[in-house]
Each structure stands twice: as C-alpha cells, then as structure tokens.
Amino acid sequence: MEETRLTRRERAYTAQRSYDGYYPSIHLTHTLLENLQVRLAWARTFGRPDFPDIIPTATIQETDLATGELNDPSVARGDITVTNTGLKPWTANNYDLSIEYYTPQGGTISAGVFRKDIADFFGDKVVVATEEDLAALDLDSRYLGWNLTTKFNSGDARISGVELSVQQSLRSLGLWGRHFSVFANATKLRLRGDPHASFASFVPEVANWGIQFNWKRLTLMPRWNYRPRIDRGASPSWRRFLTCHGLIRLDEASCLVARDTRLEASSI
C-alpha cells in the first residue's frame, strides 16, 4: 500500500475523446443448386483500443546492470512504458466470399476466403527517450536515454486468409454410424502491415477437429486443437510469426450423462 501511495495519484491526469461514423454492411446469398450456396459479404467495422492501452499510466522499470555496463552509454538503464491516451480506433473494410455444400446426411462442407483492409491499425513503438519526451511526460532528466515504449496508430494493415469447415454424420457407414458425427475446421492467415504493426493477438494457423458420440442421454465429445508454436522474438515486428513449430493437443473432452449433468476434462 505504501508503494502504491508513492507511485500512484488519484485522478492525476484526465483525457477526453469522442468519435463517430457509419458502419454499414451488405450480405448476399445465391443458391446455385438445392444443396449448394454462395455467400458474399462486405462490412465496414471498427475496433476500439483496450482500456489498459488508453488509461493514463506510466510505468518505470530500472534494469539491473552488470558493473561493466554502468559506464556504457549504449546500454539503456531501464524501460519506461507509457499509455497513449490519444490512440484512435482502427477502421476496416471486410470482404468475405464462401461456398457451402449441404450433404444428404445433413452435414455441411464449406470453404471461404476473406480480407480485412485496416486503417489506423495499432502498433508498438520503442524509442530512446529524449529531453522532449521526458518534458512531455514530466519526468526527471536522469531517464534520458532509457527505452520508451508506447502504442500508436501505425497506419494501414491487411489481414487475409482462408477457412475450411466440415461437419458430417457417419450414419451412411451403417447402423453403428448413426451415433457418431465428425467435425473439423481450419483457418490460415496472411498478415501484412507496417513493421511496427502489432499482430500479437493473431495466430497465423489454427485447426480444430473432433468426434461426437450420442446414445440416449449420453454424449461424448473429445476435441483436438492445433496451433503453431510461435517464436515471438525480442522485436515487436510482425515478422516474429515466421518461426513456427506445430503443437497438437487434446483441447477438451466433455460428457453429457443426463439432462442437467455435464462432465468435462481439458488439457492445458
């Protein structure tokens, strides 16, 4: 508590910002055959910054340097992380095209492509603190040369990708198959943008699959999940996604044994 009183001040800084706009969307569906449909969509959307990224905060962390590094001017003494209260929401034009096939057994097979063209995308910036930066933050000159980290609107970015999805009953394989159904879906992304663009929340490849068993009141549904092992590296650049190694795991298993009873097991 004493540390909090020394490092935090209640309502020491206030900021106010407003924005508005129009965000229409168009969705078209065309039936090619009785069991085959094509869907086309366009939408204009926006994304707000997370509250922790805009609430006025400055965090100072001093680096524990070795004796030989104390007199080296090229070594930063610490890190200053500052939120950007002027961070604007990003806006995007979204384009989606998909085709869906409905099987005679009641299943669905679909494939689609999509693209998101983003303006004012969020980026991470790390610079060496100058006297002007310290004056704007009301910090002492002893922080000159420290690393200063903040978020900003880095410019344009593009996220494009493909999606595949299958859901199918196995009843066509015989009497035993009526109790089983399988499902799978996969997504692959291509990320492009300014070198400072922050794609940290995007996974370039992901897949999920599983099987479901239904008999009377009993339902068993093990699910598996694939995500690449991502070497994010030390740089905030989106290029950290280039080093990937696969990981397959049992994501979730659930069992419904009665109307209001459900057993679940998951692996982290």
Contact 53, 15 (CB under 8 A): no
In a domain, 11, yes or no: no
In a domain, 69, yes or no: no
In a domain, 6, yes or no: no
pTM tops 0.75, yes or no? no
**What CATH number does the domain containing 194 carry?**
2.40.170.20
**Domain span including residue 57:** 22-63+75-266
Contact 176, 119 (CB under 8 A): no
In a domain, 84, yes or no: yes
Residue with tokens 């407003």: 18
In a domain, 234, yes or no: yes
What pLDDT, on the 0 to 100 scale, is given for residue 76?
A: 73
In a domain, 190, yes or no: yes
In a domain, 13, yes or no: no
Beta strands in the chain (DSSP E): 25-33, 36-47, 58-62, 78-82, 90-102, 108-128, 147-169, 180-193, 205-215, 218-230, 244-258, 261-266
Phi, psi of 18 (to 5 degrees): -140, 160
In a domain, 3, yes or no: no
What 8-state DSSP symbol labels residue 123?
A: E
Which of 29, 183, 161 is closest to 103 using CA atoms? 183
3-state SS class at 88: coil
N-to-C CA span, the chain: 34
Name every residue whose Cβ is closer than 8 Å to that of residue 183 and which is 6 or more positions away in sequence. Answer: 166, 167, 168, 209, 210, 211, 212
Rounded CA separation 265/256 (Å):
12
User: How many structural domains compose the chain?
Assistant: 1
The amino acid at residue 134 is L
Question: Digits of tens for pLDDT over the chain (268 positions)?
Answer: 555 555 556 655 666 777 778 899 999 999 999 999 999 999 999 999 888 888 888 888 887 766 666 666 666 778 888 888 888 999 999 999 999 999 988 899 999 999 999 999 999 888 888 888 778 777 778 888 888 888 889 889 999 999 999 999 998 888 888 899 999 999 999 999 887 888 877 888 999 999 999 888 888 888 888 888 665 443 333 333 333 334 444 445 555 444 444 444 444 4
